[in-house]
Homo-oligomer: A and B are copies of this chain.
Amino acid sequence: MKEKIIEVSIGMFGQNGFTETSIQDIVESLGVTKGTFYYYFKSKEELLMEIHLRYIDDLLQSQKEILETKNSSEQKLYDIVYMIMKHIEGHGQSARVFFREMQHLNEEHLDDIFHKRDQFRKNMNQAIQEGIDSGEFRQDLNVEIVSLAILGAVNWSYHWFDPKGKLDEKAVSTIYIDFMLNGLKST
């Protein structure tokens, strides 16, 4: 039941927004009553936190596995970008909730999530730094800002990426990486 609540909530939060979705809406779509909801969750916010945690923990775990390999920095970068895109493709509504409804967490939870997002970003920084150190990437990069640019470009995809569109998440990732590695300029 708890899983079912989370599942339909993600769908409804993603579609209509956190504030716009009432507990009533959620339980009605499951054919149960509000009491049931409060048996499994202390509050609406706790449900939102659970959704956030699952998303970011999953991302962090995948990122960790990628970073622990012996692959080239270029490959690692590609793997991370593709992994995020794969998440957006496979859990599109989760991504929407994660990127859009964070503000509705309470302070404590927000701190927790913020810290984890920061960790994700720092891991990204590190991957880029490694590429610089190994000579794969340019020496004169501002790691912090470039990292934010890459994350921004990829994360932004949740706004427009359509799993049923012309290009799948793999194709988009490939274009992203080519752009990020080689830039726009003709040589």
Residues of A within 8 A of B (CB): 17, 19-20, 74, 77, 100, 103-104, 128, 131, 135-139, 141-142, 145-146, 148-157, 159-160, 167, 172, 175-176, 179-187
Contacts and interface: CB of A to CB of B under 8 A. Distances in A.
A152 B157 contact: yes
A186 B156 contact: no
B186 A145 contact: no
Contacts of A77: 184
Given A153-B150, A157-B152, A183 B186 contact: no
5 contacts: A135-B186, A146-B179, A153-B153, A180-B183, A181-B185
A184 B152 contact: no
A141 B180 CA distance: 12
Nearest to A140: B178
A94 to B, nearest CB: 16
A76 B183 CA distance: 16
Contacts of A182: 138, 183, 185
Contact of A176 (B19, B145, B176): B145
B138 A184 contact: yes
Given A151-B156, A152-B153, A153-B153, A128 B184 contact: yes
Contact of A184 (B137, B148, B185): B137
Contacts of A137: 184-186
Contacts of A184: 77, 128, 131, 137-138, 141, 146, 180-181
Contacts of A187: 138
A186 B148 CA distance: 19
Contacts of A180: 149, 179, 183-184
